[in-house]
Chains A and B, each alone.
Chain A
Amino acid sequence: MRNIMEAEFKKIFFLRFSKVYLLFTIGISLLIGFIFTVTTNVTQGVAITDLSVMEVVSANMLGVDLASILLIIFTALTISREFTAETIYTSLAAVPNRKRLFLGKYITFLLLSIVVSILMVALIYLTSQIILMANNMSLASLAEADIRQFVFGVLLMPVFYCLLSVAATILFKSSGGGITFPIVILAIPALLNMFPDTIQKVLLPLLPQSAIHSLSGTVGAESFETSGVFISISILLLWLVITSVIAILSFQKRDF
């Protein structure tokens, strides 16, 4: 497995595109988060100094949402290139056990997304502190439970959607599928808001975005999204396991 992961990392980082894209992802997400935070008087009609520390950090962390979408695109493009360029022939010749090859890719992108996510959240957290300081507000502290929970929950988002994209790209054998599937899953809660409460009550708790919101503590107690820590983690794992199993089965059956 170590050999497969080493090869997968080389596939990613030998390409100039990957390095530039990941740096761009971090840079643009920081910028967007910063813009959201310093323009609250325009977007929310509230001056930044009237916001709580948590609200400032929360506005800044919207950059992570963008980072998640950019990471989905990066993952889909990187993996689908093997199918379009047909380099999957050489990959499968070296690692004919398709389940192992899938898991090698999965773990590689898991580690990559964890690193990107931690780096991103740390930088955004740091930016939030600078913004708070510049506005003579008290600093955010990880010693406070709600901020700690929020930061941890936000960390999960890029990792989860990156892994969903790995499975979807292999399942659909295309970047289109690898991008569309996780973004649709990401967007479903917004669509469900248009449906009656009875439907929202049943479907919303099953969606990964609700689980992430619950884990980050950004949902109210009466919200349909709310679920406990154990259930939220189970829902996220279930999504990952089910999509991975379907992708592995499809990958194993496919002719190249």
Chain B
Amino acid sequence: MIEMKNLTKTFKDKISVHQLSLVIHPGAVTGFLGPNGAGKSTTMKMILGLMKPSEGSVTIDGHPYKDLERPISKIGALINGNAINPKLTAKQHLEIIAAASGISEKQIESMLMETGLQNVKHKPIGTFSLGMKQRLGIATALLGDPETVILDEPFNGLDIDGIHWLRELTKKLAQDGKAVLVSSHLMSEMQMIADRMIILAQGKLIADMTIDELAQNSLGSFVKVRSEDNNQLQFLLTEKGAEVKRVKNKELHVYQLDMEQIGLTAKEGRLALYELTKVQPSLEELFVELTEGKVDYISTDNLVTEGGETP
């Protein structure tokens, strides 16, 4: 189990990670989200001891990574898919890591097979596509059969088959009881694979919950209602404390009241309901909602002045 306590990383003029306290649980895929510069990679590097925390601590089963007896069997990580010597072959790359960690040849062959690189194992990595490099990076991460797998942007460069494979792989790893921490900008993929989401913005923890919990807490989550008398229903729902918006005079968007309460309120007012639909925001919408105003980099198209005009 990875545990972070008040983890902080400060560079000269910037706080990259600020007082982050988290636990990465086994048996689940944890999505790690945040805008560029949110501190995701810095946090992952601190877990692996590649960066030293300015404050706080991060431990794996109670020990810092550098003090682990056989670290590669505790955590396997893909930090940068391109961080491979292009002159080596895929097999040679794995052989070097295996030699340093005392891992058998059999395990190398097994990982090459698992990641679909068996047929290209003797080819120089320099001839690989980004997707193949990602597969090799994942093979490296899994080489020590680790209890925790950390994958930083693993979907980058993968083709459709690769994405499908990685989706299944992360789910299988979690089912096998491993803790899987995945960072990605592909919200749709994260929505499909992650059991839990950790969202960072400007180095601070914004959310740590399941997607359902995120949706429930979201301002973007509402119930769409159509009834025989929308005016009357709006009045009744507002009295019950709901926030109601009228859309095109045909439907109501009801916030802060669940479907059951809306149904009961309509029943009390003897109003027939034509539609009662829970509308959940997508992960992307939730992400935008949670990180609004907390990004370090933004495209000029998204910059809006007070007067509503782009500068």
Contacts and interface: CB of A to CB of B under 8 A. Distances in A.
Interface of A: 3-4, 6-7, 10-11, 14-17, 81, 85-87, 89-98, 253, 255-256
Nearest to B76: A93
B48 A92 contact: yes
B85 A87 contact: yes
B55 to A, nearest CB: 15
A249 to B, nearest CB: 13
A94 B80 contact: no
B51 interface: yes
Interface of B: 45, 48-52, 65-66, 68, 71-72, 75-77, 79-80, 82-88, 92, 95-97, 99-102, 140
B84 A4 contact: no
Contacts of A94: 71-72, 97, 100-101
A92 B49 contact: yes
Contacts of A253: 52
A97 B66 contact: yes
A interface: dominant SS:
helix
Nearest to B94: A90
A92 B50 contact: yes
A94 B86 CA distance: 19
Contact of B101 (A3, A85, A89): A3
A11 B96 contact: yes
Given A93-B72, A94-B100, 10 more contacts: A6-B99, A10-B95, A17-B87, A85-B83, A85-B84, A90-B140, A92-B48, A93-B71, A96-B48, A96-B66
B66 A10 contact: no
A8 to B, nearest CB: 8
Nearest to A9: B99
30 contacts: A3-B100, A3-B101, A3-B102, A4-B100, A6-B100, A7-B97, A10-B99, A11-B96, A14-B88, A14-B92, A15-B85, A15-B88, A16-B87, A85-B83, A86-B80, A87-B84, A89-B48, A89-B79, A89-B80, A90-B84, A90-B97, A90-B140, A92-B48, A93-B71, A94-B71, A94-B72, A94-B101, A96-B68, A96-B71, A255-B51
A256 B140 contact: no
Contacts of B48: 89, 92-93, 96
Contacts of B99: 3, 6-7, 10
